[in-house]
């Protein structure tokens, strides 16, 4: 394993990355009826034309972050074959799945979180860029608050207070149609898509991600 100095500065605590990722998903859902995300168990994936990423949280506090960029992952495109990204990896990783991806040139980077820090396999000297940053282009709001602010702005939501209100709703797990409408009304860029299916899609994602407002006997709890 490499030392902490080799880990990209963009990678923070996985729980915080997940919280930002949830906001990014909901932003996307309010702009399109078909966001480019997939949720299964405790893994959230983003797939786009240039690659994608997956963030997986485990109940024991461990986590995975992996993906690729089809143009920028030197671990795939340079050298005689793909770099072995599972070298020195702990046993708790889903080795079979990741090995298949690695051997099929579908894995540009693989980081795992345990004991309070991220680690990865050692890279050959020819690897200057594993594609992590490029694979998140357009969805880099998972990395830090500044990137998250840019995610709002890129979607046409340039009203800072509206964005802050929405983030607060996500953090409290009280996202509802009113909160989504408030955000969408703040848009400076018009969408040709009708609002109703976008709100419906965003509410479905909010429920699946565990941040939707819960109602008991017609009252929010």
Whether 37 is covered by a domain: the verdict is yes
Predicted confidence at residue 189, as pLDDT, reads: 77
Whether 135 is covered by a domain: the verdict is yes
Helix (H, G, I), strand (E, B) or coil at 221: coil
Listed as ranges, residues in the chain with pLDDT below 70 are 1-5, 33-34, 215-221
Predicted confidence at residue 33, as pLDDT, reads: 65
Burial of 52 (0-12, 13-18, 19+ CB in 10 A): buried
Whether 128 is covered by a domain: the verdict is yes
Q: Which stretch of DSSP H or E encloses residue 54?
A: strand 51-57
What CA–CA distance (Å, rounded) separates 31 from 198?
7
Whether 221 is covered by a domain: the verdict is no
Q: Which stretch of DSSP H or E encloses residue 45?
A: strand 43-48
Structural domains of the chain, count: 1
Q: Is 217 left (phi over 0), alpha (psi -120 to 50) or beta?
A: left
Whether 220 is covered by a domain: the verdict is no
What CA–CA distance (Å, rounded) separates 28 from 151?
9
Whether 203 is covered by a domain: the verdict is yes
Q: What is the pLDDT of residues 25-48, one digit of tens each?
A: 999 999 886 678 999 988 999 988
Q: What is the pLDDT of residues 44-73, one digit of tens each?
A: 999 887 889 999 999 999 999 999 998 889
Predicted confidence at residue 2, as pLDDT, reads: 44
Is the four-CA dihedral 151, 143, 24, 54 of positive or negative sign? positive
Whether 160 is covered by a domain: the verdict is yes
What CA–CA distance (Å, rounded) separates 123 from 72?
15
Range(s) of the domain holding residue 192? 4-210
Whether 113 is covered by a domain: the verdict is yes
* Two tokens, residue 156: 């046409």
């Amino acid at each position: 394993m490499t030392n902490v100095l080799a880990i990209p500065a963009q990678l923070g605590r996985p729980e915080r990355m997940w919280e930002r990722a949830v906001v990014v998903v909901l932003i996307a859902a309010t702009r399109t009826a078909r966001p480019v995300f997939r949720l299964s168990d405790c893994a959230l994936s983003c797939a786009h034309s240039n690659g994608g990423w997956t963030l997986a949280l485990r109940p024991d506090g461990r986590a995975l972050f992996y993906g690729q960029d089809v143009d920028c992952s030197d671990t795939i495109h340079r050298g005689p074959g793909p770099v072995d990204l599972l070298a020195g990896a702990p046993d708790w990783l889903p080795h079979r799945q990741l090995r298949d991806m690695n051997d099929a040139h579908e894995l540009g980077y693989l980081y795992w979180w345990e004991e309070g820090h991220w680690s990865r396999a050692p890279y050959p000297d020819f690897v200057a860029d594993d594609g992590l940053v490029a694979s998140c282009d357009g969805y880099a709001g998972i990395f830090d608050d500044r990137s998250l602010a840019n995610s709002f702005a890129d979607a046409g939501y340039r009203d800072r207070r509206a964005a802050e209100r929405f983030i607060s709703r996500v953090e409290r797990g009280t996202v509802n149609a009113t909160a989504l409408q408030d955000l969408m009304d703040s848009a400076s860029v018009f969408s040709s898509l009708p609002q109703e299916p976008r709100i419906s899609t965003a509410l479905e994602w909010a429920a699946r991600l565990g941040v939707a407002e819960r109602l008991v006997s017609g009252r929010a709890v």
